């Protein structure tokens, strides 16, 4: 490897063709901050087709957590993602599907996308779905997941996509919380050569969801499944009976578009609610500028539709821009770890967007698998989900990108709807490991724990001053929780939950979550959710879960478990508990380590001191900090003596 630089200046060559260059960034950013409503009104006109203009660009009150953008404006998101492109792009590819097996691929044109979405929208209507109803989508990564999302958007139904890796329990909780009465799923998913029993999981989840009257099932593998005649509908059998025309519903900008559940530091996952107008504008605009998307390019984001990245940057943003977006069913390591580069070569991918955890995993397997595929089509690389360590950044830049692609590290959250901080290609220098600078209209600030706003070079907590159109509007069914989670800590600011520093050049570096949220292979998990799963076991009295740095996954899951008195801690119990968590939450949440402990370190008021547990899990024993407030300091010695030394 060549010398590792800590800053890669924007090259003059790069600025010639990108949508934004350094001067334009400055000028547009300035305007977006000084006259936000003027700025956003212009963008909304440029990016989105409206049936009716809005009455007010924005109305934001962080004291009550009431946020609206483009209120009174009417539009339809599916129209913006499909219909308006048909005049010039009916035959252009909207979706390239690349199946789990490298021989399995096909293309979907904008016209075909239109017809498929309309048919499914009509099917939903005949099952009684109308504007405002919630529809759960539990699907593998096949084009139909996109059809399902857009069909809901077309008729004004609110989708709630549940990641295909989630368990029965998670489906059930989400269906009930949003009162979904229709579920769209597939018989099975296929990933890395393995089958995932999606329909069976749905069947099991719905035993406790009596209000679900329809399950629409796409056949992916043709496996035999249980069938309830009244409830279940076979997509392939019926879909061609429906008209490929369905008038899009006129939606208010502030009507809900979707709910997406995400983990927080306490309680059960929150239903993050996004609305039509602001969200689609923000997804489209960030997609165009952050990935510097140019007409005709092939764009590939490897995320799953079950996460916000899949929503904003596989489907909504790219399709709103009339792009060609690649939908990949498989995993980066199947049939071998060269799969991503093989797919890039085969489909001549220009823009590739993935997570640091995937980069680290592939980096460890050597350069040969990368180099044997032609990557000359790739022009821009992106990362999302967690901070990228400089070593992985350099490998991505030099080996994958052959030192000639821009890398955009993109910081954002389910709650933010789209990217808030990044190094805009052609406009902002790249610093490996730094997220970069704010996107247009975004005003980050760093505050101390106590809430003092820190200027200049600073380290503290990341908050946002003011709103942007893609911001979530509420926690579904619990507006108080929305306020409490994001606006109660620092009055007048949106609190991100992340720690960050700002360097002398104004670049933001994300230092990780400061709350009890873990980031495991880019999947967001609340420690409280894992703890709740563990204590379901009859032998478990109490559990505390912390994260520790993991070379590939970013963070691993380390659990401290106190057993009921008289219970022995055998190896089989470790396995049982790991399986229990996987069952309750999904396989990606399976704990790496379980340490049985006679007691947990608690303050005299009974609060578990996680700081200490984190240090022990990280094997950082010198730095345990103040233990004088512990009710029983002797538990710490036992925890240290019996810690699991790893890595
Ligand atoms: C983390 C994913 C550093 C962060 C889009 C955030 C990142 C959480 C980055 C949101 C990045 C995401 N650099 N950290 N580029 N991107 N994060 O809701 O802690 O699944 O708060 O959204 O991921 O995760 P979520």
pLDDT per residue over 73-132, tens digit each?
Answer: 999 999 999 999 999 999 999 999 999 999 999 999 999 999 999 999 999 999 999 999
Nearest CA to ligand 1 atom 15: 411
Residue 19's pLDDT is what? 96
Residue 117's pLDDT is what? 99
Average pLDDT over residues 346-353: 98
Pocket of ligand 1 contains residue 384 by CB under 6 Å: yes
User: For the chain, how many residues are written?
Assistant: 647
Q: Structure tokens of 89?
A: 């792009």
Give yes or no for a contact between 332 and 103, defined as CB atoms under 8 angstroms apart.
no
State yes or no: pLDDT of 14 exceeds 70. no
Structure confidence at residue 4 as a pLDDT band (50, 70, 90): confident
Please tell me whether 154 is known to bind a ligand: no
Residue 82's pLDDT is what? 99
Q: Structure tokens of 68?
A: 């609206």
Q: What is the DSSP string of 207-269?
A: TT-TT--EEEEE-SS-------TTTEEEHHHHGGGS-S--PPPPEETTSEEEEEEE--SSSSP
Any residues with CB less than 8 A from the CB of 390 and at least 6 apart, and which?
Answer: 4, 6, 432, 433
- Give the closest residue to 438 by CA, choosing from 468, 458, 459: 468
How far away, in angstroms, is 591 Cα from ligand 1 center? 21
- Nearest-atom index, ligand 1, CA of 307: 20
For 20, 24, 60, 73, 151, the CA distances from 68, given in Å and listed in that order, are 28, 28, 6, 11, 24
Q: What is the Cα–Cα distance from 433 to 418, expressed in whole angstroms?
A: 20
Helix (H, G, I), strand (E, B), or coil: what is residue 140?
coil
Give yes or no for a contact between 189 and 195, defined as CB atoms under 8 angstroms apart.
yes
Nearest CA to ligand 1 atom 24: 413
For 99, 119, 212, 343, 346, the CA distances from 103, given in Å and listed in that order, are 8, 28, 37, 11, 11
Please tell me whether 527 is known to bind a ligand: no
- Give the closest residue to 83 by CA, choosing from 53, 107, 49: 49
Average pLDDT over residues 504-533: 93
Residue 13's pLDDT is what? 67
Per domain, the residue ranges of the chain are 12-56+67-502, 521-642
Torsion from C-alpha of 198, 283, 519, 159, nearest 10 degrees: -30
CATH number for region 521-642? 3.30.300.30
Q: What is the Cα–Cα distance from 241 to 406, expressed in whole angstroms?
A: 47
State yes or no: pLDDT of 15 exceeds 80. no
Nearest CA to ligand 1 atom 14: 386
Please tell me whether 77 is known to bind a ligand: no
Residue 60's pLDDT is what? 98
Name the pairing type of β-strands 406-410 and 194-196.
unpaired
Structure confidence at residue 618 as a pLDDT band (50, 70, 90): very high
How far away, in angstroms, is 385 Cα from ligand 1 center? 4
Q: What is the Cα–Cα distance from 321 to 292, expressed in whole angstroms?
A: 11
pLDDT digits (tens, 9 = 90+) for 272-327: 999 999 999 999 999 999 999 999 999 999 999 999 999 999 999 999 999 999 99
The model's pTM is 0.95
Give yes or no for a contact between 172 and 197, defined as CB atoms under 8 angstroms apart.
no
State yes or no: pLDDT of 208 exceeds 60. yes
Pocket of ligand 1 contains residue 592 by CB under 6 Å: no
Residue 607's pLDDT is what? 85
Helix (H, G, I), strand (E, B), or coil: what is residue 625?
coil
Give yes or no for a contact between 480 and 465, defined as CB atoms under 8 angstroms apart.
no
Q: What is the DSSP string of 267-290?
A: SSPEEEEEEHHHHHHHHHHHHHHH
State yes or no: pLDDT of 628 exceeds 80. no
Pick the more confident residue, 523 or 258. Answer: 258
Please tell me whether 411 is known to bind a ligand: yes
Pocket of ligand 1 contains residue 497 by CB under 6 Å: yes
pLDDT digits (tens, 9 = 90+) for 417-427: 999 999 999 99
Handedness of CA 352, 353, 357, 358 (dihedral sign): negative
Structure confidence at residue 205 as a pLDDT band (50, 70, 90): very high
Q: What is the DSSP string of 472-502?
A: --EETT-HHHHHHHHTSSSTTEEEEEEEEEE
How far away, in angstroms, is 365 Cα from ligand 1 center? 25
State yes or no: pLDDT of 571 exceeds 90. no
Residue 16's pLDDT is what? 72
Give yes or no for a contact between 74 and 252, defined as CB atoms under 8 angstroms apart.
yes
Please tell me whether 286 is known to bind a ligand: no
Q: What is the DSSP string of 150-183?
A: HHHHHHTPEEEE--TTB-HHHHHHHHHHHT--EE
Pocket of ligand 1 contains residue 433 by CB under 6 Å: no
For 120, 244, 288, 385, the CA distances from 239, given in Å and listed in that order, are 7, 10, 33, 36
Please tell me whether 386 is known to bind a ligand: yes
Pocket of ligand 1 contains residue 513 by CB under 6 Å: yes
* Burial state string for 633-644 with b = 16 or more CB within 10 A and e = fewer than 16: eebbeebeeebe
**Which residues share a beta bridge with 461?**
447, 499
Pocket of ligand 1 contains residue 385 by CB under 6 Å: yes
Residue 631's pLDDT is what? 82
Q: What is the Cα–Cα distance from 198 to 186, expressed in whole angstroms?
A: 6
Q: What is the Cα–Cα distance from 599 to 637, expressed in whole angstroms?
A: 11
Structure confidence at residue 369 as a pLDDT band (50, 70, 90): very high
pLDDT digits (tens, 9 = 90+) for 426-482: 999 999 999 999 999 999 999 999 999 999 999 999 999 999 999 999 999 999 999
pLDDT digits (tens, 9 = 90+) for 404-417: 999 999 999 999 99
Residue 575's pLDDT is what? 95
Average pLDDT over residues 392-414: 96
pLDDT digits (tens, 9 = 90+) for 224-236: 999 999 999 999 9
State yes or no: pLDDT of 2 exceeds 80. no
Cα-trace Rg, the chain: 24
State yes or no: pLDDT of 1 exceeds 60. no
The predicted complex's ipTM stands at 0.99
- Residue of 519, 520, 555, 589 best suited for mutating to test ligand 1, as the one with most atoms within 8 Å of CB: 519
**Which phi and psi angles does 251 have, rounded to 5°?**
-115, 145
For 324, 341, 347, the CA distances from 90, given in Å and listed in that order, are 12, 29, 20
The CATH architecture to which 12-56+67-502 belongs is 3-Layer(aba) Sandwich (3.40)
Structure confidence at residue 348 as a pLDDT band (50, 70, 90): very high
Structure confidence at residue 634 as a pLDDT band (50, 70, 90): confident
- Residue of 360, 470, 494, 510 best suited for mutating to test ligand 1, as the one with most atoms within 8 Å of CB: 510
């Amino acid at each position: 490897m060549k010398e590792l630089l800590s800053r890669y200046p924007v090259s003059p060559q790069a600025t010639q063709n990108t949508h934004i260059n350094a001067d334009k960034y400055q000028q547009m950013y300035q305007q977006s901050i000084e006259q936000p409503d003027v700025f956003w009104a212009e963008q909304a006109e440029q990016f989105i087709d409206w049936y009716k203009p809005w009455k007010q660009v924005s109305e934001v009150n962080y004291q009550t957590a009431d946020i609206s953008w483009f209120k009174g404006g009417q539009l339809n998101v599916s129209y913006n993602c499909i219909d308006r492109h048909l005049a010039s792009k009916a035959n252009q590819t909207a979706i390239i599907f690349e199946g789990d097996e490298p021989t399995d691929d096909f293309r979907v044109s904008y016209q075909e996308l239109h017809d498929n979405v309309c048919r499914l929208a009509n099917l939903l209507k005949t099952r009684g779905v109308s504007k405002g109803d919630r529809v759960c989508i539990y699907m593998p990564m096949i084009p139909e997941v996109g059809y399902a999302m857009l069909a809901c958007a077309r008729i004004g139904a609110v989708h709630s996509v549940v990641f295909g890796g989630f368990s029965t329990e998670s489906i059930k909780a989400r269906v009930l919380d949003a009162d979904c009465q229709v579920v769209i799923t597939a018989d099975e998913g296929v990933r890395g050569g393995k089958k995932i029993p999606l329909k069976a999981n749905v069947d099991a989840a719905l035993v406790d969801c009596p209000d679900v009257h329809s399950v629409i099932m796409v056949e992916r593998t043709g496996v035999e499944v249980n069938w309830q005649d009244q409830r279940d509908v076979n997509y392939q059998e019926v879909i061609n009976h429906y008209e490929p025309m369905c008038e899009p519903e006129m939606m208010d900008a502030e009507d809900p578009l979707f709910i997406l559940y995400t983990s927080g530091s306490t309680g059960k996952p929150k239903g993050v609610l996004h609305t039509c107008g602001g969200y689609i504008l923000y997804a489209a605009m960030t997609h165009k500028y952050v990935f510097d998307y140019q007409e005709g390019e092939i764009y590939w984001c490897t995320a799953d539709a079950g996460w916000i990245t899949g929503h904003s940057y596989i489907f909504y943003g790219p399709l709103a821009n009339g792009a060609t977006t690649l939908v990949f069913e498989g995993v980066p390591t199947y049939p071998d770890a060269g799969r991503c580069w093989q797919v890039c070569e085969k489909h001549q991918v220009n823009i590739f967007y993935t997570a640091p955890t995937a980069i680290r995993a592939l980096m460890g397997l050597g350069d040969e698998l990368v180099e044997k595929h032609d990557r000359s089509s790739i022009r821009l690389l992106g990362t999302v989900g967690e901070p990228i360590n400089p070593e992985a950044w350099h490998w991505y830049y030099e080996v994958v990108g052959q030192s000639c692609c821009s890398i955009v590290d993109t910081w954002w959250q389910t709650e933010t709807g789209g990217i808030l901080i990044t190094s805009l290609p052609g406009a902002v220098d790249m610093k490996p490991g730094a997220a970069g600078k704010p996107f247009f209209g975004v005003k980050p600030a760093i505050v101390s724990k106590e809430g003092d706003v820190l200027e200049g070079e600073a380290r503290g907590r990341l908050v946002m001053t003011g709103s942007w159109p893609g911001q979530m509007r509420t926690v579904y069914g619990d507006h108080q929780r929305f306020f409490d989670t994001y606006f109660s800590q620092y009055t007048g600011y949106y609190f991100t939950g992340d720690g960050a520093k700002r360097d002398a050049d104004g670049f933001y570096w994300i230092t990780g979550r400061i709350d009890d949220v873990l980031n495991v292979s880019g999947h967001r998990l609340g420690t409280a959710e894992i703890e709740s799963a563990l204590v379901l076991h009859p032998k478990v009295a109490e559990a505390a879960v912390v994260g520790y740095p993991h070379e590939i996954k970013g963070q691993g899951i380390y659990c401290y478990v106190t057993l009921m008195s008289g219970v022995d801690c055998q190896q089989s119990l470790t396995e049982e508990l790991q399986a229990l968590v996987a069952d309750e939450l999904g396989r990606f949440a399976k704990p790496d380590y379980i340490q049985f402990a006679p007691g947990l370190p608690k303050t005299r008021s009974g609060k578990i001191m996680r700081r200490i547990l984190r240090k022990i899990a990280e094997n950082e024993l010198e730095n345990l900090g103040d233990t004088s407030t512990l009710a029983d300091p002797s538990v710490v010695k036992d925890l240290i003596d019996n810690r699991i030394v790893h890595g």
